[in-house]
């Protein structure tokens, strides 16, 4: 390639959204941020919404800023975002309502109600998805029960990244990787789970054709292209689920690895040729999601940096402003109080005063109570590391083999203390990076769609060429073994 092609990714996360330019020369990629904006759900009355119009406005700002630098050089644009959330559109293609945010409480009790119609094992057999109450299936079933007129009026369902692709170019489609997060998609038949949807009275007509990552949807709307000054850019869908893009950019050589896509949520799993949909995988509540190249992400979705993010927010409200680096330093210097929390406990799901909830959990489980901010952070990070080990043991049991290395990617991979804790706890090397795995996976899948690359293997080769990972060797000891057994006891006590 004589000159580097310019690609544009919009990476939408729980705390922020970013416009990222990829400079790709055929064997290396460099990324450059051209725009960043805060992103948070909006509460109206008792409901929580995603502000889709604000995000769309910021996407347009990002386009304009990117085009101001690179103009006609921009070859393509693609969007990734979190899974499960969606928008409903009417016949002309207008939003019927503000999209709800997955943390909204309209899905409380919906798993139990849906399973009273369709047994849990039958839902899992069709979809292969982990049961979480905010999955698209249960959001839709809440509309069936409480707002059926909205579903009756709806013409189209678009997952969030699908919505922004539609607004960019006018083409409606559901991208494969994000569709498979919905619990409305049949993993084995590679089609929507029509039988399940019918039994739950969810209208089949709202679902769109499913397209694969790398698909060219079309050109930017002329008014967008003219306003932004990027007339030649195509809309190319990446793996539109942010974890799908991130895992695509894992710089692996080996096959026996576990990945942790670390952000607000930790998505912990392995990569497989085929879904695993069995009674055992259901008992472990593990999920199967689609990835480029026909691969399956077999994983568990658990809270990640969420507890730390909410603690940081609470301390900021109290006048104690910390950067994440400062919080890590406080934890590193804090005495080991020996307390751990079950990070999956229901009391940690909602936004709020996380330090107080952590102390209450420790009090309830008869543990020493973390006193200082540093002790709270250490408690969070050690609990995460122990939980990663518990998931590693689950995957090794189900797969019948040892996983030799842990790859941590995404924003959380910058936390060297957590990386070292994880290596120590699991007694395996941890390879951290790239930090920008989601944006890189998005950009390189666009490059594949434009014909510059031909496989996920080539994408990963480019990642290895372009980024130097940080390697954390384990320093396992009786202290980590004792701590893990304590974590298992505390988690078991709490869940019982």
Peptide bond into 170 cis (omega under 30): no
Q: How many CB atoms lie within 10 A of CB 118?
A: 16
> How many other CB atoms are there within 10 angstroms of residue 331's CB atom?
24
How far, rounded to the nearest angstrom, does the alpha carbon of residue 421 sit from its chain's CA centroid? 22
Q: What is the DSSP letter of 352?
A: S
242 classed as catalytic: yes
Q: How far apart are CA 294 and CA 161, in angstroms?
A: 20
Distances (CA, A) of 251 to 27, 107, 421, 430, 461: 14, 37, 21, 13, 7
| Number of neighbours of residue 47 by Cβ within 10 angstroms | 14
DSSP structure string for 181-221: TTT-EETTTTEE-HHHHHHTT--GGGPPPEE-TT-EEEEPP
Rounded to whole angstroms, the Cα distance separating 303 from 232 reads 40
Measured distance CA(263)–CA(82) in Å, rounded? 11
Q: Which of 242, 342, 373, 394 is catalytic?
A: 242
Work out the burial of residue 414: count CB atoms within 10 Å of its CB; fewer than 13 is exposed, 13-18 middle, 19 or more buried. Answer: middle
Contact 309, 315 (CB under 8 A): no
Write the CA distances from 438 to 9, 195, 304, 405, integer angstroms. Answer: 9, 33, 16, 20
Among 308, 349, 440, 415, smallest CA distance to 11 is for 440
What one-character-per-residue DSSP string does 414-461 give?
Answer: G-HHHHHHHHHHHTS-EEE--TTHHHHHHHHHHHHHTTS---HHHHHH
Tokens of 436: 């920008």
| Token digits of residue 452 | 């510059």
> Which of 270, 291, 228, 250 has the alpha carbon at shortest distance from 10?
228
CA 410 to chain centre: 10
Q: Which residues are catalytic?
A: 242
């Amino acid at each position: 390639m004589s000159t580097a092609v310019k690609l544009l990714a919009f990476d939408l996360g729980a705390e922020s959204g970013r416009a990222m330019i990829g400079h790709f020369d055929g064997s290396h990629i460099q990324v450059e941020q051209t725009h960043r904006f805060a992103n948070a759900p909006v509460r109206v009355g008792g409901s929580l919404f995603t502000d889709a119009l604000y995000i769309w406005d910021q996407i347009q700002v990002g386009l304009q800023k990117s085009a101001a630098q690179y103009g006609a050089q921009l070859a393509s644009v693609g969007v990734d975002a979190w899974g499960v959330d969606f928008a409903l559109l009417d016949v002309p293609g207008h939003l019927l309502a503000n999209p709800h945010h997955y943390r909204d409480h309209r899905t409380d009790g919906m798993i139990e109600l849906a399973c009273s119609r369709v047994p849990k094992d039958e839902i899992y057999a069709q979809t292969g998805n982990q049961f979480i109450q905010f999955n698209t299936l249960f959001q839709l079933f809440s509309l069936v029960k409480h707002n059926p007129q909205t579903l009756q009026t709806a013409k189209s369902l678009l997952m969030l990244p699908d919505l922004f692709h539609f607004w960019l170019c006018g083409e409606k489609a559901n991208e494969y990787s994000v569709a498979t997060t919905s619990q409305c998609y049949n993993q084995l038949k590679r089609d929507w789970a029509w039988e399940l949807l019918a039994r739950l009275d969810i209208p089949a007509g709202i679902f769109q054709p499913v397209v694969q990552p790398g698909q060219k949807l079309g050109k930017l709307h002329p008014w967008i292209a003219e306003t932004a000054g990027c007339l030649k850019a195509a809309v190319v869908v990446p793996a539109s689920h942010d974890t799908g893009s991130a895992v695509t950019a894992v710089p692996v050589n080996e096959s026996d690895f576990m990945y942790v896509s670390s952000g607000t949520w930790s998505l912990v799993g392995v990569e497989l040729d085929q879904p695993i949909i069995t009674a055992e995988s259901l008992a472990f509540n593990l999920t199967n999601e689609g990835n480029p190249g026909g691969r399956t992400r077999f994983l568990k979705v658990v809270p990640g940096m969420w507890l730390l993010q909410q603690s940081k927010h609470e301390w900021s409200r109290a006048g104690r402003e910390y950067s994440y680096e400062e919080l890590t330093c406080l934890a590193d210097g804090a005495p080991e109080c020996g307390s751990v929390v079950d990070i999956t406990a229901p009391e940690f799901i909602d936004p709020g005063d996380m330090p107080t909830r952590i102390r209450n959990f420790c009090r309830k489980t008869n543990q020493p109570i973390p006193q200082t901010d540093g002790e709270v952070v250490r408690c969070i990070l050690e609990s995460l590391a122990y939980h990663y080990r518990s998931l590693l043991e689950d995957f090794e049991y189900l797969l019948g083999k040892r996983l030799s290395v842990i790859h941590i990617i995404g924003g959380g991979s910058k936390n060297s203390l957590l990386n070292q804790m994880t290596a120590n706890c699991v007694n395996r090397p941890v390879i951290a990076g790239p930090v920008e795995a989601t944006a890189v996976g998005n950009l390189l899948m666009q490059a594949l769609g434009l014909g510059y690359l031909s496989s996920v293997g080539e994408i990963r080769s480019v990642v290895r060429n372009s980024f130097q990972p940080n390697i954390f060797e384990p320093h396992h000891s009786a202290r980590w073994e004792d701590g893990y057994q304590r974590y298992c006891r505390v988690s078991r006590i709490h869940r019982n």
